[in-house]
Amino acid sequence: MRARTYHDADADLGVLADRTGAVIGYGNQGAAQARNLRDSGIRVVVGNREDAYRDAAVQDGFEVDDIARAADTGQVLLLLIPDEVQSSVVAEQITPGLRAGDTLVVASGYNLAFGLLDLPEEIDVVMVAPRMIGEAVRNRYERRVGFPCLVSVERDVTGTALATALAVAKGIGATAAGAVASSAREEAALDLFSEQAIWPTVLAVLQVSYEVLADAGFSDDAILDEIYLSGEPAEVFARISRMGLLDQLRTHSRTSQYGQLSNLVRSGELAETLRRRFAEVLQGDILSGRFAGDWSAPGADTEARIRELLERAGSHPLIGAEHAVRARSREETGSGPPG
């Protein structure tokens, strides 16, 4: 299924000419997006609590106010504070400043997708979600090369929500490379799927590989270099992104190409297990809202949960082996493998 892609020519910065952008939060995304919008000729105020981020915004020459006053001043509000605090900050500090016809812009779909933001009915709600860290959002804007970004209209009261979303996307530099039409649901589901299906499986592959190779009597040093310490897997992923999943195979030896292709898991027990597990994560945990309801429940002690799981993960023999190899390498070379 193909998605529509919006380019610079589809967006008109003019729709923001008589509106003020209120960038709420001056962190990773906030600092980059506020500077890009300002350089695109859009009037920007920054809303931030008293902290070092606020000082940085002042330092960068912005008009800075507390969140409630900035929300009151702006008509296009970019919500660029961490996802887990958005629900309470919106309810307590932003909603009172929202007026009919204002636009709320989110950079991540999670809170909208799972109904965690309590928003007044008479405002537009859109998503402009860069798939890029803030530093690169700024750097790529300066080089006019754009960056991957998902755009959606979640609520269109004025009839101009898409035009506003595209103007914001252009103002932060996203449409230079083409911004992809999406939805908060899609953005959140894909993000959570990577986190809950793809990456845990990659970690499990490394753990099981270690178990099998260590059982066969190979040394920790050699195993760990092979499976990730050398940085080779990171290079393969970089080549996959640059050249393509199969085309990058050309950069491997013939023996490696044959080994990889002849062992590709496409059917059988393992493929079925993965398919079942991934479908269960996507449907049962993510799209059903079960995960969000549990993780974002008021009062959930998320720090304690992470601490406990980290402790449990840390008891796998691979982790002990890694620490020992790193420590030996540090002693011997004074630096050790890339940390």
3-state secondary structure of 337: coil
Query: Can you give the binding site for ligand NAI, defined by CB under 6 A?
Result: 25-30, 48-49, 51, 53, 80-83, 85, 89, 107-108, 129-130, 133-134
Please, what is the minimum distance in Å from the beta carbon of residue 56 to ligand NAI?
Answer: 8
C-beta closer to ligand NAI: residue 295 or 326: 295
- Residue 137's closest CA among 62, 14, 35? 35
The residue among 127 and 161 lying less far from ligand NAI, judged by its C-beta, is 127
Does residue 49 contact residue 27 with C-beta atoms inside 8 Å?
no
Report H helices in the chain. Answer: 28-39, 52-59, 67-73, 83-89, 110-113, 134-142, 161-171, 184-193, 199-215, 220-224, 232-243, 254-262, 268-279, 290-295, 302-314, 317-333
Measured from the CB atom, is 131 or 252 closer to ligand NAI? 131
What tokens were used for 125?
């709600």
Q: Between 133 and 309, name the residue whose CB sits nearer to ligand NAI.
A: 133
Q: Are 60 and 85 in contact (CB under 8 A)?
A: no
Report in angstroms how near the CB of residue 219 gets to ligand NAI at its nearest: 38
Residue with smaller CB distance to ligand NAI, 85 or 208: 85
Smallest separation (angstroms) from ligand NAI to the CB of 27 = 2
Question: CB nearest ligand NAI: which residue?
Answer: 27
- Residue 26 CB, shortest distance to ligand NAI, in Å, is 4
Q: Residue 287's CB: how many other CB atoms inside 10 A?
A: 18
Q: Minimal distance in Å, beta carbon 111 to ligand NAI? A: 8
Q: Yes or no: say if 122 and 101 are a contact pair by the CB < 8 Å rule.
A: yes
